[in-house]
Chain A
Amino acid sequence: MKIGLKKKDWVLIIIIVCVAGLTVLVHTFIGGKGANRVVVKIEGAIQDTYSLSEEGDYEINGGTNILQIRNGKASMVEADCPDQLCVHQKPVSLNRESIICLPNKVVVEVETGTSREFDAVTQ
């Protein structure tokens, strides 16, 4: 393929691919399986926590968004914003994955509920 890329262009491409690969590695290290709940945050403040093992539809942020949990995966099924980006996004189930609705400042984040287990142990 002759598209006239220069040496520096290739260096740039390699750097970008390496950085992307590195973040994937970091993500799989911190993240991965074992996630069991989703946390709903609005403007950074935790609003609700739902278990991924229980199926259900939840209205969040006073009904602007509807979160659906099916088969251990969470997805946004409704949002009142015009762009509907969060609705089109694929369902999330892995640790630290998230669905974000920017106009409503809603973040749905998957996480491992370690703190709760810890409380149970110390009781």
Chain B
Amino acid sequence: MRGRVAYFGVFTALALIFSYIETLIPLQFGIPGVKLGLANLVIVLALYKMGTGEAYLLSVVRVLLTGFLFGNYFSIIYSLAGGLLSLSVMALLRKNGGFSVMGVSLAGGVFHNIGQLIVAMLVVETFSVIYYVPVLLIAGMLTGLLIGIVSNEMLKRLVNISM
């Protein structure tokens, strides 16, 4: 139990650092919402090494902390919608079986963007954001796949550590 708490703390710190690094990378694709999602790496690792409950807690804690530190009220709602939808889909696919870490992470990336798009649609009360769907789908897929590949490599090396 003590070990779990310690690991949870380390994971939270790591997620926070990744979120911060993300804000330092000046990646602008001309489309709002397209980013690497480095913090998702930690979420995927938590999902596989610690379990669904811990991953949810980590996700919420991360969003609240990064929101208060680097973002604003909007970025919290935004990230929370994306993060929770993404995690729900990832947990479902992982439980379902048949998907590799890459597949799970890839779906996570896509649904992260879909979650944010839904919030955007509700906030500005327009359907015209639908125009972003193809870009967000492909972008989410590629970044999710990238995160998945890294997660997979990390998980291979973390086999002997139980959390």
Chain A residues within 8 Å of B, Cβ to Cβ = 3-9, 12-13, 16-17, 19-21, 23-24, 27, 31, 41, 43-44, 82-83, 85-86, 88-90, 96-98, 100, 102-103, 105-107, 109
Contact = CB atoms under 8 A, between A and B. Distances in A.
B122 to A, nearest CB: 10
Interface residues of B, number: 33
A46 B131 CA distance: 19
A82 B128 contact: no
Contacts of A85: 32-33
B103 A107 contact: no
A85 B72 CA distance: 14
B131 A41 contact: no
A12 B99 contact: yes
B120 A102 contact: yes
Given A12-B103, A85-B32, A98-B128, A3 B149 contact: yes
A89 B120 CA distance: 16
Given A89-B30, A96-B131, A20 B99 contact: no
Closest 6 CB pairs of A and B: A44-B125, A9-B103, A85-B32, A20-B134, A90-B30, A8-B98
